[in-house]
Amino acid sequence: MTRRLGVLGGTFDPVHFGHLDAAEAARSALALDEVLFVPSHDPPHRTPHPGATAFHRFALLALAVNDRPGYRVSDVEMVRTGRSYTSDTLRGLHAAGWAPSDVFFILGADAWAEIATWHEFPAVLDAAHFVVIARPGTSTADAVAHTPDLRRRVRPVAEQRESGGPPAIFLVEARTRSISSTAIRERLAARQPVGDFVPSAVARHIAANHLYVENTLHGHDQNHQDA
């Protein structure tokens, strides 16, 4: 039986319930067998550098998905040198035996608005299906409005649940919690609790290792950015 793999990339600095909500929304809507979380080592659009080391960001993700069957974390971008481009990650999945029609790259509607700036755009859109998840303040309709030339690639979610097909764009309207990694870092820098925004194991690891407490990193937070 053909398996269906969801891929959620990002800096995850730190991972939070909004990321997990997006993964679950995609898995439920498209009947994905598993979701692979791919933390980036050198995110192209992200300045300044992540507030936590690659080691800690990977560890936080592993803790976040530890009790969630069907979720796993990949270090493919952590060990690869150079910028962390989605196109390279998807090529790696193809080399491992995954067909583009079986891979579903998940990102928030806010990140989709920047898709035209991604490395190897528009060719990267042929490397997997792209699943655009509504985010608080940005609907899927808003996202598509930024990319009118791509409307022809949009297909109903119900179609893909039944059969395969060439890489397409799927829009998923879902309730995801209004949380950003930027806001979490700001709360931690101010010595405020973050237990409502991250899994308890993540909060414990952050506290035990004194992460994000020395300074606040500013910047726009999205599910994934690429260039």
Per-residue pLDDT, 81:
84
Percent of the chain with pLDDT over 90: 73
* Residue-averaged pLDDT of the chain: 90
CATH class label, 5-208: alpha beta
- Residue 194 clears pLDDT 70, i.e. is over it: yes
Q: Which residues are CB-contacts of 167 (< 8 A; sequence separation ≥ 6)?
A: 100, 101, 125, 126, 127, 128, 129, 130, 153
Which pair of tokens denotes residue 59?
Answer: 């560890």
- Residue 29 clears pLDDT 50, i.e. is over it: yes
Condensed to tens digits (0 to 9), the pLDDT of residues 200-223 reads: 999 999 999 999 987 544 444 445
Strand partners, 104: 6, 129
Percent of the chain with pLDDT over 70: 89
Per-residue pLDDT, 42:
80
Strand partners, 138: 135
Q: Which residues are CB-contacts of 49 (< 8 A; sequence separation ≥ 6)?
A: none
Condensed to tens digits (0 to 9), the pLDDT of residues 158-186 reads: 877 666 689 999 999 999 999 999 999 99
Sign of the Cα pseudo-torsion (23, 28, 29, 35, in order): positive
Which pair of tokens denotes residue 40?
Answer: 């980036």
Q: Average the pLDDT over each of 53-62, 69-78, 84-93, 156-165 and give the range with the smallest value.
A: 156-165
- Residue 11 clears pLDDT 90, i.e. is over it: yes
